[in-house]
């Protein structure tokens, strides 16, 4: 298939209120041409509202929206020419699979021979070749998802929107489809905006993630930066597990539960801050074992173990610092690690590398 | 595993409690049957038995011997042919007008917010709460030569001579459409409300403007409701009596009116019975044909079928 060039999306000061509730609070966002950008947020955060404004189904109170250089904020949905995968797929039940996929082509006056050819190649692309004559109700959830995807890309839109398309699938299929969607995006190179509340899905699939809460973009960055350097407590809590420890500043470093820690990031927040500790970034230090002995690029936190939980692939150590704050550490549950795992009541030394010693703004989240 | 396998191989006498559990299942089914027994009896006494009796009567001559004379008369006399023609003509027209009036009405109702839609729905259903006879005579009062509509029309200068609005086909159709409209609107509205709005969003997203989205997506999806409603209206019309009798003024004679005449004027139960049997057979035939195109269970279910 020949593709139209992908276009960037420019969102400026987009606002939408429902009574006193600000669903979108002056959102500005730049989506790069051809990138896979995920809008990630809890329900009610405004991420779906933003997607619906992009698609033209919700009329915002104010703002500007450009696809490439074209202002589209007042354009009717059927003239926006973007592909969309709906949460419940919205496949037309009175048409078979081929007719569903042919629908956008028919509306664009494509010749019958071209329609047949493009429907077939779209079906091949989503690995459903030969399913054209099936009725929608004969398809499994995963197959419907693929048909919806084929329908959204068959007319070669330069922008594709996806509204939690995998949320109705079971876990295994969801993880398979995440990889497939990702590969398809690489192949097509369309600008893709993906909405989800599943942080793992966002981390797996995205070029960049926009974390949205309270109608605002909290942080826009690559998955790794979002995970490792969240700008505030909300982002840190929403993505991954973490413990938050109260700290006081002490010269160049910080003091936490009576222990002095070194901080790597120069970009530590100015206001009140918390130390964010990801459980898997903590290492149980055992000076008797040479390979786990003390390193000099680590901060050491002393804690008393309250409980150890075996979870199959990993084990979780719940512990308490001297000042009573709680902290979790996670390790790979290999046979060697399980043999050395501490017991409740033990005192452990937990190593945290300086680059993982990250302060986040305490926004009260 | 080896110890469990024999239990699956076959439920023998040694399987614990097998007999008692089977007994429980049987008792439950009998109890359920017992609950529906009164309805069965009622249907038999009020429906099956009289229809069978009529069926028998239609094959008896006046002297009580077996005869096909009633059916022969129906074929030989052109007046009977005309009666059936009128019946279908009136029923088709009524159904057609109900579709033209009812479909847009149901569409508006389906697009209104829930509260407003329910209020409007009450207005649609209001006629159900007054007697059929009262409504029909009310139309007579409105439509007759010196009736409300003719008086106002002449006073306002819209027309000069009183229009013949009643005691003819026009009057019959006005009355029947009024009575039948809710039977069309309800199933259509049910089907429309069951249409997920995301389908229309998807249609718009894929490039269909409002008009094309309606004809390519909304209308086909509302078809089962429209078919169901039309079928109900048409079948109810086939056996309709009161309205053609009162508003038709003897000029619109449908099968039911002829049945009444046969019994009231000629005391000819055989002729009336044969008409009833033919009407029943024709109705069943229509249901059968319709069932090839629409799911008739949705007619009963109000078009909410999933």
pTM for the full model? 0.80
- Measured between CA atoms, the residue of chain B closest to residue A104 is B206
The separation between CA A167 and the C-alpha centre of its own chain, rounded to angstroms, equals 13
A107 touches chain B (CB under 8 A): yes
SS3 for B241? coil
Q: Which residues of B touch A84 (CB under 8 A)?
A: 202, 205
Chain B nearest-CA distance from A114, in A, is 17
How far, in Å, are A9, A135, A271, B204 from residue A6 at the CA level? 10, 33, 41, 21
What is the b/e burial string over A74-95, where b = at least 16 CB atoms within 10 angstroms of the residue's CB? eeebbebbbbbbbbbbbbbbbb
DSSP states along A281-315? GEEEE-TTSGGGS--TTEEEEEEEEEEEEE-SSEE
Is any Cβ of chain A less than 8 angstroms from the Cβ of B33?
A: no
- The answer on pLDDT for A46 being more than 70 is yes
Residues contacting residue B214 through CB under 8 Å, at least 6 positions apart: none
Q: Tell me, what's the pLDDT at A268? A: 62
- Which among A55, A91, A108 has CB closest to B207? A108
Q: What is the pLDDT of residues B271-289, one digit of tens each?
A: 888 888 988 898 888 888 8
Nearest residue, CB atoms, A104 vs list B207, B209, B221: B207
Which chain A residues touch B220 with a CB distance below 8 Å? Answer: 94
Alpha carbon separation from B197 to A283, B224, B226 (Å, rounded) = 52, 17, 19
Q: What is the spatial distance between Cα A349 and Cα A343, in angstroms, rounded to a whole number?
A: 13
Give tens-digit pLDDT for A150-205.
Answer: 999 999 999 999 999 998 888 888 898 899 899 999 998 999 999 999 999 999 99
d(CA B15, CA B8): 10
Q: What is chain B's mean pLDDT, rounded?
A: 85
Distance, in Å, from the CA atom of A64 to the CA atom of A66, rounded to the nearest integer, reads 7
Which portions of chain B are predicted below pLDDT 50?
1-7, 300-306
Give the helix/strand (H/E) hosting B79.
helix B78-111
**Are residues A149 and A126 in contact, defined by beta-carbon separation less than 8 angstroms?**
yes
Read off the pLDDT of residues A90-145 as tens digits, 9 standing for 90 and up.
999 999 999 999 999 999 999 999 999 999 999 998 889 999 999 999 999 889 99
Integer angstrom CA distances of residue B152 from B45, B162, B171, B175: 51, 10, 17, 20
Question: Which residues lie across from A192 on neighbouring strands?
Answer: A36, A160
Which residue out of B198, B201, B202, B216 would a mutagenesis test of the A interface target, given it has the greatest number of A Cβ atoms within 10 Å? Answer: B202
Whole-angstrom distance, CA of residue B171 vs CA of residue B91: 14
Cβ within 8 Å, pair B207-A92: no
**Nearest beta carbon to residue B202 from set A79, A90, A108:** A90
3-state secondary structure of A193: strand
Other beta carbons less than 10 A from residue A21's beta carbon: 11
Closest chain A residue to B216 measured between Cα atoms? A103
pLDDT tens digit sequence for A236-286: 999 988 989 888 877 777 888 777 888 876 556 667 788 899 999 998 887
Q: Is A77 on the interface with B (CB under 8 A)?
A: yes
The CA distance from B32 to A36, in Å, is: 59
Three-state secondary-structure class, residue A206: coil
Half-sphere exposure of A64 (CA within 13 A, CB side): 8
| Min Cα separation B166/chain A (Å) | 44
């Amino acid at each position: 298939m020949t593709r139209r060039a992908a276009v960037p999306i420019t969102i400026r000061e987009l606002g939408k209120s429902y009574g006193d509730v600000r669903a979108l609070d002056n959102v500005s966002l730049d989506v790069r041409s051809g990138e896979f950008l995920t809008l990630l947020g809890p329900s009610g955060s405004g991420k779906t509202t933003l997607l619906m404004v992009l698609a033209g189904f919700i009329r915002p109170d104010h703002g500007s929206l450009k696809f490439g250089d074209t202002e589209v904020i007042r354009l009717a949905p059927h003239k926006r020419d973007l592909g969309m995968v709906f949460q419940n797929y919205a496949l037309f039940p009175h048409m078979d699979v081929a007719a569903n996929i042919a629908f956008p082509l028919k509306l664009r006056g494509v010749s019958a021979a071209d329609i047949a050819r493009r429907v077939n190649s779209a079906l091949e692309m989503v690995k459903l070749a030969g399913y054209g004559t099936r009725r929608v109700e004969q398809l499994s959830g995963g197959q419907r998802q693929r048909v919806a995807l084929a329908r959204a890309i068959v007319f070669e839109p330069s922008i594709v929107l996806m509204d939690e398309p995998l949320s109705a699938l079971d876990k295994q299929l969801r993880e398979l489809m995440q990889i497939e969607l990702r590969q398809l995006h690489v192949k097509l190179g369309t600008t893709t905006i993906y909405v989800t509340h599943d942080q793992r899905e966002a981390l797996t699939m995205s070029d960049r993630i926009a974390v949205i809460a309270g109608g605002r973009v909290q942080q826009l960055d690559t998955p790794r930066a979002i995970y490792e350097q969240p700008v505030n407590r909300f982002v840190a809590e929403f993505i991954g597990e973490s413990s938050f420890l109260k700290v006081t500043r002490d010269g160049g470093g910080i003091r936490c539960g009576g222990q002095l820690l070194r901080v790597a990031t120069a970009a530590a927040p100015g206001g009140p801050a918390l130390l964010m500790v990801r459980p898997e970034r903590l290492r149980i230090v055992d000076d008797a074992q040479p390979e786990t002995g003390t390193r000099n690029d680590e901060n050491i936190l002393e804690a008393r173990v309250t409980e150890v939980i075996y979870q199959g692939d990993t084990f979780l150590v719940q512990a308490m610092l001297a000042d009573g704050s709680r902290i979790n550490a996670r390790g790979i549950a290999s046979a060697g690690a399980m043999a050395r795992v501490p017991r409740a009541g033990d005192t452990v030394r937990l190593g945290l590398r300086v680059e993982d010693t990250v302060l986040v703004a305490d926004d009260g989240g | 595993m080896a110890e469990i396998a024999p239990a699956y191989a076959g439920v023998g006498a040694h399987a614990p409690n097998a007999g008692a559990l089977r007994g429980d299942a049987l008792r439950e089914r009998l109890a359920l049957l017992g609950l529906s027994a009164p309805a069965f009896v009622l249907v038999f006494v009020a429906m099956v038995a009289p229809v069978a009796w009529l069926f028998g009567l239609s094959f008896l001559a006046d002297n009580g011997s077996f005869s096909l004379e009633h059916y022969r008369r129906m074929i030989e006399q052109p007046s009977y042919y005309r009666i059936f023609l009128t019946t279908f003509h009136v029923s088709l027209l009524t159904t057609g007008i109900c579709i033209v009036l009812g479909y847009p009405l149901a569409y508006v109702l389906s697009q209104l917010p829930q509260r407003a839609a329910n209020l409007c729905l009450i207005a649609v259903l209001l006629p159900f709460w007054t007697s059929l006879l009262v409504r029909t005579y009310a139309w007579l009062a409105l439509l007759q030569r010196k009736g409300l509509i003719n008086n106002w029309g002449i006073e306002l200068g819209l027309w000069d001579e009183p229009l013949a609005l009643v005691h003819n086909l026009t009057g019959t159709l006005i009355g029947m459409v009024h009575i039948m409209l809710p039977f069309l609107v309800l199933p259509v509205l049910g089907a429309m409300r069951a249409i997920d709005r995301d389908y229309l969003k998807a249609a718009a997203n894929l490039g269909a403007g409002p008009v094309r989205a309606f004809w390519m997506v909304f209308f086909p999806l509302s078809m089962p409701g429209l078919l169901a409603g039309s079928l109900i209206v048409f079948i109810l019309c086939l056996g309709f009596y009161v309205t053609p009798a009162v508003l038709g003024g003897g000029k619109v004679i449908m099968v039911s009116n002829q049945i009444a005449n046969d019994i009231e004027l000629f005391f000819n139960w055989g002729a009336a019975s044969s008409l009833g049997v033919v009407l029943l057979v024709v109705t069943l035939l229509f249901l059968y044909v319709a069932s090839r195109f629409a799911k008739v269970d949705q007619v009963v279910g109000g078009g909410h079928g999933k």
